[in-house]
Amino acid sequence: MKSVLVTGASGYIGQHVVRALKERGARVIGVDRRRRAGDLSDSFVEADLLDPAFSLADVLTEVPDVCLHLAWRNGFDHANTSHMLDLSAHYRFVLQVIEMGVGQVAGMGTMHEVGYWEGAIDEATPCNPQSLYGISKDALRRSLMLAAEKAGIKAQWLRGFYIYGDDSSSRSIFGKLLRADAAGEKRFPFTSGKNKYDFIDVGELARQISACVLQDEVLGTISCCSGTPRSLADQVEEFIASHGLNIALDYGAYPDRPYDSPGVWGDASKIHAALVAAGEVR
């Protein structure tokens, strides 16, 4: 049974990852500011790991086999200055993990590290992020990989794409649609909707993340994705229909973001190899 330290265990992605890890027999040590009701972690540390006074060695009684660092603030607000201001604290945490003797560390990434790109994204795709969120994530990716290489431990960077599912409380467009419909609004301001993205349900994302960290053959940067591009308009219109929402999209009310590509998706070959290595697929 592997023990996995999961930061951000109560977050939007974290709670699903904890469940997925438990379903696969892992022992989970959760870390977050607050423990969510119904959390399935075997043990839990309520702490702010971004606090300069935080010491991982002071709160753990064992050295986990793997650290999965999901914790991040304001992920849906790409221009928030907290991304850059928190960066050194995230790096300090990674160094604490390595100093404790954890043999495998994984960080949660994003397609926004790449910046403007057309086509499939794989490990070799050059990164030129165009937002504070993307810049800080890319910087953590690079520094985590360097620190892991220097320490001689195994490292993974799990690059997420356009996540949906479990939307009622999320700050994604899907959560906003649900709340707008519940408030009786009949029109929802929207972009052109033409951009194509790689959409992945948060439950499937959690399955992929858990598979990645429970194996150590496939390392480096891994795209956690579907591998299939779909237009934002098609995805959102389907969401409206499948949820029976009485609301229409106001196309063109918002301009498309200049740093978003007309079509970008993940190359699924490496995540498939990780799922095979973890025994998830043949």
- Residue 168's pLDDT is 73
- Residue 145's pLDDT is 98
Q: What does the pLDDT look like over 24-51, one tens digit per residue?
A: 999 999 999 999 999 999 999 999 999 9
Average pLDDT over residues 172-185: 92
- What token pair was written down for 113? 């590290």
pTM of the model: 0.93
Catalytic residues: 133
By DSSP bridging, strand 27-32 and strand 3-7 are parallel
Residue 201: phi, psi to the nearest 5?
Answer: -65, 140
- Residue 41's pLDDT is 97
How confident is residue 281, by pLDDT bands cut at 50, 70 and 90?
A: confident
- Residue 171's pLDDT is 77
Q: Specify the CATH architecture of the domain 3-163+199-227+264-277.
A: 3-Layer(aba) Sandwich (3.40)
Share of the chain above pLDDT 90, in %: 90
How many Å separate Cα 280 from the centre of its chain? 20
- Residue 249's pLDDT is 97
Average pLDDT over residues 181-193: 95
- What token pair was written down for 230? 């779909």
Domain with CATH 3.40.50.720 in the chain: 3-163+199-227+264-277
Contact 163, 202 (CB under 8 A): yes
Is 90 exceeded by the pLDDT of residue 256? Answer: no
